[in-house]
């Protein structure tokens, strides 16, 4: 069918298609488009998502941090460089866990004084020799896969602090479901981090869009800005901006 072929062509161009957008494009009902997408999924040509479809399986598995840090190295470096310029002298910030925020810890410029609260052992080790940076390492159980802590002890500390910014790494960003990570305890800790700051900035390479992890962190309405690379699909960028999310593409 010609419509099926055109849907696939659009999907290969945009990497993600939205049901309502396809309805307008082909002037057919949502029921018809969903049937088309179901048929194409059964043929193994795409993956259905809530409200649309993607070229890749939306559901992700947990992988060790030493594997993740070998992926999208240049993109993470560029994202980190832009994010580092948002840190001011005498700032108090939270850096979550993940390889992109670890790249940020390496890119932080010299400040007169800076307080960094982090769940990540790797971030703390990057900053340990910086005399201008005071590091508050959150305590708790250490996740082997991410080299970061989770649990009640870390959450208790976050209940008693207030910071200007959170630099958050995620495993998935879904337009409808929101931000996710592969570990539920880590997602709960990230929620506490969001509650403890004035501004939440997500650092995520473009491969994270259209993906879902097991643990939901929050909806898009809880974040202020996403910094990503130019690989993001134009239609996803447009939807994010329409939802009021500041999007910086490096």
Q: Are residues 120 and 190 in the same domain?
A: yes
What is the pLDDT averaged over residues 151-163? 96
What is the pLDDT averaged over residues 109-129? 94
Q: Are residues 110 and 202 in the same domain?
A: yes
% helix, strand, coil for the chain, step of 5: 40, 25, 35
Q: Is pLDDT of 100 > 70? A: yes
Tokens of 49: 């998502």
Query: What is the C-alpha separation between 249 and 230, in angstroms, rounded?
Result: 6
Q: For 54-91, how does the pLDDT look when each residue is reduced to its tens digit (9 = 90+)?
A: 877 777 766 666 666 667 899 999 999 999 999 999 99
Q: Are residues 135 and 109 in the same domain?
A: yes
Residue 250, pLDDT score: 95
Tokens of 126: 């990057």
pLDDT band at 51 (very low <50, low <70, confident <90, very high): confident
Q: Are residues 28 and 95 in the same domain?
A: no
CATH code for position 29: 1.10.10.10
Inter-CA distances, 13 with 47, 126, 214, Å: 15, 39, 28
CATH code for position 71: 3.40.50.1360
Residue 196, pLDDT score: 98
In a domain, 11, yes or no: yes
Domain that holds residue 47: 2-54
3-state secondary structure (DSSP) of residue 17: strand
The number of domains in the chain is 2
In a domain, 59, yes or no: no
What is the pLDDT averaged over residues 141-155? 92
Q: For 159-211, how does the pLDDT look when each residue is reduced to its tens digit (9 = 90+)?
A: 999 999 999 999 999 988 999 999 999 999 999 999 999 999 999 999 899 88
Residue 67, pLDDT score: 65
Q: Are residues 44 and 75 in the same domain?
A: no
In a domain, 233, yes or no: yes
Q: How much is the mean pLDDT over the chain?
A: 91
Query: What is the C-alpha separation between 3 and 206, in angstroms, rounded?
Result: 28
Q: Are residues 169 and 48 in the same domain?
A: no
Q: Are residues 165 and 50 in the same domain?
A: no
Residue 65, pLDDT score: 61
Q: What percent of the chain has pLDDT over 70?
A: 95
Q: Are residues 22 and 70 in the same domain?
A: no
Q: What percent of the chain has pLDDT over 90?
A: 70
């Amino acid at each position: 069918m010609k419509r099926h072929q055109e849907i696939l062509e659009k999907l290969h161009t945009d990497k993600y298609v939205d049901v309502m957008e396809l309805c307008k494009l082909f002037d057919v009902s949502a029921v018809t488009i969903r049937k088309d997408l179901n048929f194409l999924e059964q043929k193994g040509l795409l993956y259905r998502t809530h409200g649309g479809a993607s070229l890749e399986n939306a559901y992700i598995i947990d992988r060790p941090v030493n594997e993740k840090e070998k992926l999208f190295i240049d993109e993470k470096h560029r994202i980190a460089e832009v994010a580092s310029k948002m840190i001011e002298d005498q700032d108090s910030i939270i850096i979550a866990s993940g390889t992109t925020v670890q790249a940020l810890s390496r890119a932080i410029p010299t400040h007169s004084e800076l307080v960094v609260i982090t769940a990540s052992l790797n971030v703390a080790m990057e900053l340990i020799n910086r005399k201008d940076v005071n590091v508050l390492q959150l305590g708790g159980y250490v996740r082997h896969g991410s080299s970061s802590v989770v649990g009640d002890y870390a959450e208790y500390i976050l209940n008693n602090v207030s910071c200007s910014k959170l630099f958050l790494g995620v495993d998935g960003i879904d337009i409808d479901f929101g931000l996710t990570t592969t570990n539920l305890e880590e997602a709960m800790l990230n929620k506490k981090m969001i509650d403890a700051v004035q501004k939440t900035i997500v650092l995520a390479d473009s491969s994270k869009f259209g993906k879902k992890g097991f643990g939901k962190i929050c909806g898009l309405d809880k974040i202020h800005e996403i910094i990503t690379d130019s690989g993001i699909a134009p239609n996803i960028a447009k939807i994010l901006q329409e939802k009021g999310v500041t999007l910086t593409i490096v």
